[in-house]
């Protein structure tokens, strides 16, 4: 693992509670740079929220998520995106979302108030065109992640953010054990306009757990 991470922030640590899913995203997901002009770095600019600020509900039964939002600790929404309606399954040693929308990895835990597993949402990132999960680069500890499901809304508090070398979780890695109420967001990292050999990973914990 890398420590410290980008901009002095701690990289994804070896936490006392381990998230356990074989996180094959990044392992070799196809997140290729496209031709054309580069795009500006992601920023924490406000966007219109699509999830009711009165949420989350006190109890949410397990269900596939259909929308995700990232909010600052002060409540400003800087990412709001629908999730792809079809969950993602691994293709050999690769996770390759079908379009730019983030998507729930079906081999991970299903989000819910009483979930005992880690839920994983992955998304593409590019150096030459936009994709919602470019915003992972500006997530900060203390931010909130909201997942909307047909059962209700779940709120997670961001604990750590940072790069993780691609492929590091294919073997016997201590971060593969399940953790109740944990959410992992991941993309293929782009730094200074160029793809890297890392994934950028956000680790969040269900509020109230």
Instruction: Note the Cα 146 to chain centre separation in Å.
Output: 11
pLDDT at 90: 79
Residue 65 resides in a domain: yes
**pTM of model > 0.85:** no
Residue 48 resides in a domain: no
Cβ-based burial of 32 (10 A; exposed 0-12, middle 13-18, buried ≥19): exposed
**Locate tokens 């496209």: which residue?**
34
Whichever domain contains 102, its CATH number is 2.40.260.10
Residue 35 resides in a domain: no
Residue 158 resides in a domain: yes
Residue 118 resides in a domain: yes
Residue 10 resides in a domain: yes
Residue 63 resides in a domain: yes
What is the total count of domains within the chain?
1
Q: Averaged in consecutive runs of 10 residues, what is the pLDDT profile of the chain (209 residues)?
A: 36 41 43 47 92 79 98 96 94 82 92 93 86 94 97 95 75 67 90 86 89
């Amino acid at each position: 693992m890398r420590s410290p991470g980008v901009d002095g922030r701690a990289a994804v640590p070896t936490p006392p509670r381990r998230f356990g899913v074989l996180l094959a995203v990044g392992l070799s997901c196809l997140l290729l740079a496209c031709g054309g002009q580069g795009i500006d770095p992601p920023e924490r600019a406000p966007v219109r929220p699509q999830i009711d600020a009165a949420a989350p509900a006190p109890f949410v039964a397990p269900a596939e998520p259909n929308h995700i939002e990232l909010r600052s600790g002060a409540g400003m929404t800087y990412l709001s995106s629908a999730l792809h309606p079809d969950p993602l399954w691994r293709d050999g040693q690769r996770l390759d979302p079908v379009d730019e929308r983030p998507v729930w990895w079906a081999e991970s835990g299903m989000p819910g108030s009483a979930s005992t597993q880690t839920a994983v949402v992955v998304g593409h990132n590019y150096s030459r065109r936009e994709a919602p999960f470019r915003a992972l680069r500006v997530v900060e500890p203390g931010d909130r992640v909201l997942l909307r499901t047909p059962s209700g809304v779940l709120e997670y508090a961001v604990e750590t953010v940072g790069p993780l070398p691609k492929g590091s979780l294919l073997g016997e890695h201590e971060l593969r054990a399940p953790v109740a109420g944990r959410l992992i967001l991941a993309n293929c990292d782009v730094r200074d306009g160029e793809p890297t050999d890392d994934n950028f990973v956000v680790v969040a914990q269900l509020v109230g757990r």
